[in-house]
Amino acid sequence: MKSKKVVKIVTIVIMLLLILNTMSFAKIETEVYKPSELTTADYDEAFKLGGILVSGLQIVGTVIAIAGIMIMGVKYMIGSIEQKAQYKKTLIPYIIGCIFIFTISNIVSLIYNLATQL
């Protein structure tokens, strides 16, 4: 019971700090701050950097997922009967997570490719 109160108090303090922080940034003078216009070169560079980021995340996620499945597969082959039953329980959610990683990264990559071709 006491830990719930501590969590609530910490959450309230963090929210108040965030509100006070945003209030201090809201005092930007509009006469002084004049943002420049974005050019097509800026958009092209942003898309290029986004493509690099998406492909990097896709590669890292794929390598981590495949390495994890390989390690769990080797442990499954070497393990005893009890360990095999335990690995079966943990392997199914892990494979579902890997499917999510593959599909989400491929969907983001597809959206990026469609946006750059337009």
Average pLDDT of span 62-82: 84
pLDDT tens for each residue of 27-43: 556 566 566 777 888 88
> 113 and 55 in contact (C-beta within 8 Å)?
no
- Helices 81-117 and 40-78: crossing angle, nearest 10°? 170
How far is CA 32 from each of CA 19, 22, 27, 29, 35, rounded to the nearest angstrom? 24, 19, 11, 6, 10
> 87 and 72 in contact (C-beta within 8 Å)?
yes
**What is the model's pTM?**
0.51
pLDDT tens for each residue of 73-101: 888 888 888 888 888 888 888 888 878 87
18: which DSSP letter?
A: H
- The confidence score (pLDDT) of residue 46 equals 83
pLDDT tens for each residue of 5-18: 777 888 888 877 77
